[in-house]
Structure 1
Amino acid sequence: MAYTETTYRSWGSRMGGAFKGILTGLVMIALGTILLYWNEGRTVKTGGAINEARSVAVGAGDISKPDPALEGKVVYATGRADTQDVLEDPIFGAQAKAINIARKVEYYQWTEHSKQEKRKKLGGGEETVTTYTYTREWVNSPVDSNSFRDAEYQMRNKVLAQYTNETLYAPRVTFGAYKLPDFLKRAIGGAVPLDIQPDDEKKKELFEGLATGYKPVESIPVPAETLSPDMVSADTAASVVQERPQDRYVHAQGNVLYLGKNPGSPEVGDVRVTFTQVPPADVSIIAQVAGDTFEEFTASNGYTFSRLNMGTASMEKMFAGAESENTTMGWILRVVGTLVVVAGLGAVLRPLSVIADVIPIVGTIVGAGTGIVAFLLGVAWSLLVIAVAWIRFRPLLAGSLLGAAVVLMGLLYMKGRKNRAART
C-alpha cells in the first residue's frame, strides 16, 4: 500500500534555498574544473607510463627458475598462478585450496522507495507530493525500519544474525619460481561457486548465534504422520524422533548457506550467505622483477604500471588493453567533470527561475532557459579547461589544434570579406 506526504514551501523559503545553493554551485564548478584539468594530466601521464613500460618490456621466457638477468626489468610472462594454501572462512567453515575465497551476505528486509511530484503554485510556492512504497527484497545490509515514513511499516525489520562481507587471500601464490605480490593476487579473476557443507557442530554454533527471540529454545518433535512406516512405527515416532532446531534454521545448498525457516519462502530477517572461490589459473602478467617476486613499474613521470590478464594473452594485446582502458576512463571522467560543472551552473542560475515562479508558467519557461544556458556554458567552460590542460600536458597537439583553428578563422574572415566585396 502506498503512503503519501504533501509538503509546501513558500516562495520566500524557496528563494532562501536557491541563494544558499549558489555557494554549493560554485563549489561544484570548482570541483568539476579541477577534475577536468587533473584528468587530462592523468590520461597523458598514464599513457606515458604505458608507453615507457612497453619500450623496456622483455619476455621472461621460462619462469620455472629465477633468472638473475631479469632483476629490475619489466617482464612479460605467462604461467600458472598456483597455491597450496587452504583458506577457511573463520565463521562458516567454508574452505578451499584457492587464490581467494569470499563470502557475500544478504538480508531479507522491508525497503522503502519514494517518488516525488512537484507542483508550482501561483505566488511562487511549491507543493511536493511524495509517495512511499514498501517491498520486501534482498539487500546488502540491514535496513532500519524505524526511519520509514509510514508508521505501519516501522519496527517491521529484524535480522537473525549480522555478518560482514569478507575476502581471504592465500598468503603464498606462486607463479613458476616467483611469488605473486598482493596487487597481482587481487587482479586474478575467475570466481566460481564454493560449496559449503557445515557439520553438525558448526550448524549448532551458527544456530546458537542467531538473535534471541527469533529461534526456538527446544528441539521440536517430528509429527508421526510425516514418517514412513519402514522408518519407525506411528505409535512411537513422536516420542523417538526429534528434529534439531538448527536443522530448521540452518540450511546449506551448493554455495549458499541460508539462515531461516524456509529458503523457498523467505521471511523478513532471514540471512543468505553466498560463497565463491578463485581457483588456481593460468595468467599473463607485465610487471617489474624484484628478487623472487614482482613490483609495479614506476615510469619517469612518477606514474606506475602493471597488468594481469586471465589466460594466455600476448604482450601487445595487454598493452593495447591498458591503453584502451586509459582512454575510456579519460572520456568517462571528462563527461563526469562536465556534468558536475553544468549542475553547478544550474544551481547558480536557479534563483532566476525561482523569482519567475511567482507566475508558474513564466517560471517554467525561465527554468528551461536557464537549464539550456547552464548546459551550453558548462560545456563551453569544460572545453576551455580541457584546452588549457592540453596546452600544459599536450603542447604539440594543442598547438596544432590552435593553429588549425587560426587558419580556419582566417579562411572564414577572408571569405566574408570576399562576399562583402562581391555585394558591393
Structure 2
Amino acid sequence: MADNYTEVTNTSWFSRLGNSFGGIGAGIVLIALATFLLYWNEGRAVRTGDAIAEAQMQTVELPGVGALDPSYDGKLVHATGRAVTEDSLTDSMFGITAKAIRLRRKVEYYQWVESSKQETRKKLGGGEETVTTYSYQMKWVGQPVDSQSFKRVEGHENMTRIQAENEDQYAANVTFGAYRLPDFLIRSISGEKAITPNLNDDQRSEIQKAFFSRAPIPDTVNEAPESGVEKVTRGPNSMVHNQGNFLYIGRRPNSPQVGDVRISFFEVPPAEVSIIAKISGDTFAPFRASNGERFYKLGMGAQEQAVMFDDAKSSNSIMTWILRIAGILLCVAGIRMIVAPLQVIADVIPLLGSIVGAGAGLVAMLLGCAWSFVVIAIAWIRFRPLLGACLLGAAVALICFLFVRGRRRKASASVQA
C-alpha cells in the first residue's frame, strides 16, 4: 500500500542567486576535504602496501596447530586449522541459545516510510518551480521511523510493539588447535547461518509477559483459510509467533500491521580457517611493520599463503580506488558549486542557462580532475617519486589543454565580431 502527496514551491531568481553565492563557501570546503582525502589516501595505500610486502617476506609456515611450538613464538606465521568453541551464547531478551562463535540478532520494524522525488522547471526570468512528490509506503526497515518528521503525518503515524536493538555476541573462548584466537581474529570469522527460533508455548508466553505485562494484550486473529472464518483470540502468547526463520511480534504474522516487529537470529558455527598473524605465547597478535602499520589476515577455509597475500593486496588496491574516486567527485562537486552563480545569472533566459550550465559542468569536471591529479601527483612525489612525476605531467597537460581551448574560443569570437 502506498500513497502520494505533491507540493509545489517557487523560488525567485534573486533567491536562487543568493543561494548560489552562499554555496561558494561550501564548495571551497568540499575542495579542501577532497584535497586532504586524496593526499592521505595515497600515503595510506603506500604504507599498507609496504606493510603487506614486509609481512609476506617474513611469514613462515606453521606445520601444525595441534601442539604449541615455542620455536615459532614471536614469528609471523601462516596456519590452517579449525576454529572451535564450547561457549554457549544466549540472547537474554528472547532466550535463543547457540553453541557458536557468534550469535547475531537482527530486528526489523514494519513502518511507514517516506520517500520524495523532485522535478524542477525553469521559468522565464530566472525563477524555478519545484514539484516535490512525497510517497508513503509500509515496509520492513531496520530502525523505527519518526513519522512526525514526515511532510504529511496524518494517516502515516508510526508506532512499535516493542523496542529491541540489533545485537552481536562473540564467544570469549575460541581455540585454534592448541592455540587461542584473540578477539580481533574471532570477529573476522564469517559464514553465518540462520537459526530457526521454534519457541514453545511457555517460552513465547514468557516473552509476551516481559513486553506486554503492563499493557492490555491486543486481540489476535487466527486465520482459517479453509473455512474462510477468522477467530479472534486472546492468550498468554497471542502476540508472539514462530514464523519460519523469524520470531514475530504482532497480531497477524501473515498480514503485517504498522508497529509489528520481526526478529531473526544467526550463528557463526565452528569452521576451518586460515590465518596470517604473529604468534604470541599460546595466542596471536597483529604483525607490526617497520613503518608502524599493523597487518593480519583471516580467510575462511584452507587458503594458501600466496592467495591470502594476493587478496590483501587486491583489497588495498580496491580501497585506494574507491577513495580516489570519492575524492575526485568531491573536488568536482566543490568546483561546480563555485561556478554555480554563472548558470543562475544566465537562467534569466532558460535556454541560455542550460547551455551555460552544461559548459560549467564540463569545466568543473575538467578542473576537478586536473586538481585531483595534481594532488595525487604531489602525494606520489612524496611516496612514489617516478609515478608522481608522470601524473604531474598529465595534470599540467590537461590544464594547458583548457587554457589553449579558452584562447581559441576568444580568438573565434573576435573573428566573428
Question: Shorter-normalised TM-score: what interval?
Answer: 0.7 to 0.9
Give, in whole Å, the separation in 1 of the partners of 2:37 and 2:64: 44
Q: Is 2:126–2:349's contact at 8 Å kept on the other side of the alignment?
A: yes
- Cα distance in 1 between the residues matched to 2:369 and 2:26: 19
Q: Is the 8 A contact 1:92 1:198 kept in 2?
A: no
Question: 2 CA distance for matches of 1:404 and 1:218?
Answer: 72
SS for the counterpart of 1:152 is coil
What does residue range 357-376 of structure 1 map to in structure 2 within 5 Å? 357-376=347-366
Distance 1:31 1:213, change over 3 A: same
Q: TM-score, normalised by structure 2?
A: 0.88
In 1, Cα distance between the equivalents of 2:64 and 2:376? 46
- Cα distance in 1, alignment partners of residues 181 and 370 from structure 2: 47
Question: Which range is displaced more, 246-255 or 270-279?
Answer: 246-255
Deviations 1:20-70 (A, max 9, x none): 111110010011111111111111110100000000000111211111111
Q: What is the match of residue 389 of structure 1?
A: 379
Q: Could you say what secondary structure the match of 2:154 adopts? A: helix
SS state at 1:134 partner? strand
Maintained 8 Å contact 1:160/1:214: no
Given the alignment, which residue of 324, 327, 332 partners 1:334? 324
The aligned residue for residue 92 of structure 1 is: 94
In the TM superposition, residue 152 of structure 1 has moved relative to its aligned partner by 3.3
The CA deviation at 1:328 is: 1.1
- 2:389 and 2:159 mapped to 1: Cα distance? 64
**TM-score (norm. length: structure 1):** 0.86
Of 261-270 and 211-220, the range deviating more from structure 2? 211-220
Residues 80 and 244 of structure 1, relative CA distance in 2, 3 Å threshold = farther
Q: Which amino acid aligns with 1:257?
A: L
Give how far 1:119 is off: 1.1
- Structure 1 partner of 2:194: 193
1:110-134 CA-to-partner distances (Å, cap 9, x unmatched) read 1111100111112211111100111
- Higher mean alpha-carbon deviation, 99-108 vs 206-215, is at 206-215
User: Which stretch of structure 1 is more off in the superposition, 342-351 or 207-216?
Assistant: 207-216
Deviates more, 1:352-361 or 1:269-278: 352-361
Aligned residue in 2 for 1:153: 155
Which residue of the other structure, out of 57, 70, 74, is the alignment partner of 2:72? 70
* SS of 1:93 mapped into structure 2: coil
2:205 is the alignment partner of 1:204: yes
Cα offset, 1:264, TM superposition: 1.4
In the aligned structure 1, how far is the partner of 2:395 from the partner of 2:28? 31
Q: What are the residue-to-residue correspondences of 1:17-416 with 2, within 5 Å?
A: 17-154=19-156, 156-210=157-211, 216=217, 245-399=235-389
Give CA-to-partner distance per residue, 1:159-190, whole Å, 9 cap, x none: 11110000000010111111111111111000
Flag the 1:257–1:218 CA change in 2: closer, same or farther, 3 A: closer
Query: 1:49·1:301 contact (CA, 8 Å) conserved in 2?
Result: yes
Q: Supply the distance in 2 between the matched residues of 1:366 and 1:400 (Cα, whole angstroms).
A: 33
Q: In 2, Cα distance between the equivalents of 1:145 and 1:164?
A: 19
- Check 1:6–1:79 CA distance in 2 against 1; reply closer, same or farther (3 A cut): same
Count residues with an aligned counterpart: 390
Q: Following TM superposition, by how much is the alpha carbon of 1:218 offset from its aligned partner in structure 2, in angstroms?
A: 8.6
* 1:329 shift after superposition: 1.0
Shift of 1:149: 1.4
Q: Which runs of 5+ in 1 are unaligned?
A: 227-237, 407-424
Instruction: Return closer, same or farther for 1:219/1:366 CA change in 2, 3 Å cut-off.
Output: closer
Aligned residues of 1:33 and 1:385 also touching (Cα < 8 A): yes
How many percent of aligned residue pairs carry the same amino acid? Answer: 54
1:375 shift after superposition: 0.3
CA distance in 2 between counterparts of 1:352 and 1:12 reads: 13
Any stretches of 5+ residues in structure 2 without a counterpart?
397-417
